Amino acid sequence: MKIRSLMYHFKDGFKNIHRNRMFSLASIATITACIFIFGVIYSLFQNFEFMVKKAENEICVTVFFDEGLSDAQIKQIGDTISKREEVSSMHFTTAEEAWNNFKSEYFADFPELAEGFQDDNPLANSASYEVYLNEASQQDALVSFIEGISGVRQVNRSEVAASGLESAARLIGYVAIIIIAILLAVSVFLITNTIVIGITVRKDEISIMKFIGATDSFVNAPFFIEGITIGIVGSIIPLGILWLMYSRIITYVLSKFSVLQNILVFLPEGEVFRVLAPVAIILGIGIGALGSTFAVRKHANV
Amino acid sequence: MIILEDVVKNYGSDVPALNGINLHIQKGEFVFIVGKSGSGKSTLIKLLLKELDPTSGEIFVNKKNLNKVTRKKLPFLRRDIGVVFQDFRLLPDRNVYDNIAFAMKVVEAPNRKIKSRVLAMLSMVGLLDKYKSFPNELSGGEQQRVAIARALVNRPAILLCDEPTGNLDPANSNAIMKILEQANKQGTTVLVVTHNMDIVAQMKKRTITMSDGKVISDREKGGYFYED
Ligand SMILES: Nc1ncnc2c1ncn2[C@@H]1O[C@H](COP(=O)(O)OP(=O)(O)OP(=O)(O)O)[C@@H](O)[C@H]1O
Ligand SMILES: [Mg+2]
């Protein structure tokens, strides 16, 4: 393919789109819908995953010990727990620290109340390990293991808010994949037909080109440009819409559900679009190229 | 330049359209092919363009065995051959200049060559003043001259014409023949299928007569044999 022919093909390709604008628009609209849904789902999942990760990192199991356990025994229990593969990190809180934390949390405004306890630590038996997990789903296994260790009095677990959400998200994901697959098929079908119409309209021209000695790739190039252009336009439009919507929706959600501000942490749009934009454009180009290929194959011998 | 050896073409009916054709046409010849309707003249042209493949036999065009030309190489074979049809086959949405330039763009000729070649062809067919006209603004004779200019603009070795004057009056037909003769003088091998016996008699060229898919006579200098 020579460069000077490229200009010619681009002109021809755009001429096809223009001549065929109703079908071109229908194809663009379908691809737009397809990639828009893809973008919405992708953004949702990215954010969801981000929140779950964040919540999981905060999940911890707190381990308390039987009365009168020596420091050495506590340390031994700590070693046993830290060898488990569910554990990502551990933190030991001494009884004094526990008491100090308690005081600063509850008696901050009334230090004189705490004075009444003097040096008699009411939380003398409240030394604890805070065990952080790699994944929220491992909590049950770890808790039952720790409960089995002798010298352990009590194990407190975190509420796993995300675990129910995860299966719901998976279901939404499957539904989305099916919808996207259907829209993908419809997009390819519409592009194919749009281009077939273009080929049919230009049948005489193509047969003359072939008599003159045009190569197949020369004859087909404008149809590929047509399909790929439709694909790119059909991916840029939804990306633009998503970009405009993204921060607005986040602001809206945060204002509506201000109670959940701690859980609802969103990714910045740059983070989402860094992957979404190229994937969407490649998807658009792919749909266009596939549609063109089918169309050209169908009419290989005009 | 063109060689056919025992060429048979059967479209699937009882009688083949071409039934054992042997033919040698030298470089630089001007040849008429005549024969009654259905005798296989157009079929012969289609085989030379490899628009169809023979049922059996071998065809050589410009030393290439057409049975061995792949689909990928076919365009390059066709660049050696110019074609002119009875119905002109111009692109209605392009003017005269663009119709001719189209043939050069399609074979990816360099732009700087296109303008000078197209203008040379326009002057050869006498249509320099009409270069901006669209096909529907031209007479049949003028349209056919544009078609010939388009067929010759890439300097093919061979020019195939299937009834180029079929839709034209005698004056226009003579003008077309003058142009074909001029192209032939410049070295192009020319093959003209025609029903116009006046022209054949007048031009005194080699004339091949076909009947029922066979060559029934092949005479130099316009001596033709027509069995109607
Ligand atoms: N595509 C086809 N399918 C089947 N039969 C065909 C086809 N094309 C031509 N034929 C038959 O082959 C024979 C030769 O046809 P061809 O067109 O070569 O004749 P011709 O000499 O060009 O006639 P004319 O002078 O009318 O143009 C005819 O009997 C015709 O009916
Ligand atoms: Mg014919």
Q: What does the pLDDT read at residue B39?
A: 93
In a domain, A191, yes or no: yes
Same domain, yes or no, for A130 and A228? no
Same domain, yes or no, for A196 and A294? yes
Same domain, yes or no, for A204 and A295? yes
Answer whether B59's CB lies under 8 Å from B7's CB. Answer: yes
Neighbours of A128 (CB within 10 A): 24
Q: What does the pLDDT read at residue A302?
A: 46
Kindly state the DSSP code that residue A125 receives in the 8-state scheme: T
- Tell me the residue range of the domain where A131 lies: 60-157
How far is the C-alpha of A189 from the C-alpha of A187, rounded, in Å? 5
Answer whether A197's CB lies under 8 Å from A291's CB. Answer: no
Same domain, yes or no, for A88 and A104? yes
Q: If you average pLDDT over residues B165-190, what whole number do you get?
A: 93
In a domain, A164, yes or no: no
> Who's near A41: CB < 8 A, 6+ residues apart?
A172, A173, A176, A180
> Who's near A39: CB < 8 A, 6+ residues apart?
A238, A239, A242, A276, A280
Same domain, yes or no, for A37 and A71? no
**CA of residue A110 relative to chain centroid, distance:** 47
Q: What does the pLDDT read at residue B200?
A: 92
* pLDDT tens by residue, A34-60: 899 889 888 888 888 787 777 777 777
In single-letter form, the type of residue at position A277 comes to A
Q: Which residue has the tokens 């390819």?
A: A188
* pLDDT tens by residue, A170-183: 787 788 888 888 88
Residue nearest to atom 8 of ligand 1 (CA): B43
Mean pLDDT score of chain A: 83
Asked if A218 is an interface residue toward chain B (Cβ–Cβ < 8 A), one would say: yes
Same domain, yes or no, for A40 and A80? no
Same domain, yes or no, for A6 and A87? no
Give the total residue count for chain B: 228
Classify burial at A255, counting beta carbons within 10 Å of its beta carbon; exposed 0-12, middle 13-18, buried 19 or more. Answer: exposed
Q: Which of A2, A5, A213 sits opposite B78 (nearest CB)?
A: A213
Complete domains list, chain B, with CATH: 1-80+157-228 (3.40.50.300), 91-155 (no CATH)
Asked if B53 is an interface residue toward chain A (Cβ–Cβ < 8 A), one would say: no
Asked if A18 is an interface residue toward chain B (Cβ–Cβ < 8 A), one would say: no
Residue A11 has pLDDT above 90, yes or no: no
Residue A152 has pLDDT above 90, yes or no: no
Answer whether B24's CB lies under 8 Å from B2's CB. Answer: yes
Q: Which residue has the tokens 């340390």?
A: A75
Residue B228: pLDDT band with limits 50, 70, 90? very low
Same domain, yes or no, for A198 and A151? no
Answer whether A142's CB lies under 8 Å from A131's CB. Answer: yes
How far is the C-alpha of A99 from the C-alpha of A97, rounded, in Å? 5
Q: Name the 3-class secondary structure at A182.
A: helix
User: Which DSSP helix (H) or strand (E) runs through B7?
Assistant: strand B2-9
How far is the C-alpha of B191 from the C-alpha of B198, rounded, in Å? 17
Does residue B11's CB lie within 6 angstroms of at least one atom of ligand 1?
yes
ipTM beyond cut 0.95: no
Question: What percent of chain B stands above pLDDT 90?
Answer: 86
Residue A161 has pLDDT above 60, yes or no: no
Same domain, yes or no, for A27 and A104? no
Q: If you average pLDDT over residues B55-78, what whole number do you get?
A: 93
Asked if A5 is an interface residue toward chain B (Cβ–Cβ < 8 A), one would say: yes
A215 to B154: CB separation less than 8 angstroms, yes or no: no
B78 contacts on A by Cβ (under 8 Å): 210-213
* pLDDT tens by residue, A207-265: 999 999 999 989 999 999 999 999 999 999 999 999 999 888 888 888 887 777 766 77
A4 to B111: CB separation less than 8 angstroms, yes or no: yes
Distance B17 CA to ligand 1 centre (A): 7
In a domain, A18, yes or no: yes
> Who's near A213: CB < 8 A, 6+ residues apart?
B75, B76, B77, B78, B79, B106, B107, B154
User: Which DSSP helix (H) or strand (E) runs through B158?
Assistant: strand B158-162
> What is the rounded end-to-end Cα distance, in angstroms, of chain A?
21
Residue B5 has pLDDT above 90, yes or no: yes
How far is the C-alpha of B228 from the C-alpha of B225, rounded, in Å? 9
Same domain, yes or no, for A77 and A42? no
* pLDDT tens by residue, B112-129: 899 999 999 999 999 999
CATH number for the domain spanning A89: value is 3.30.70.3040
Boundary of a domain, candidates A157, A184, A210: A157
Answer whether B154's CB lies under 8 Å from B103's CB. Answer: yes
Answer whether B225's CB lies under 8 Å from B216's CB. Answer: yes
Structurally, how many domains does chain A consist of?
2
Residue nearest to atom 5 of ligand 1 (CA): B11
In a domain, A244, yes or no: yes
| Short-list B52, B54, B58, B64, CA closest to B18 | B54
Q: Which two tokens stand for residue A243?
A: 């970009």
Residue B227 has pLDDT above 80, yes or no: no
How far is the C-alpha of B54 from the C-alpha of B8, rounded, in Å? 6
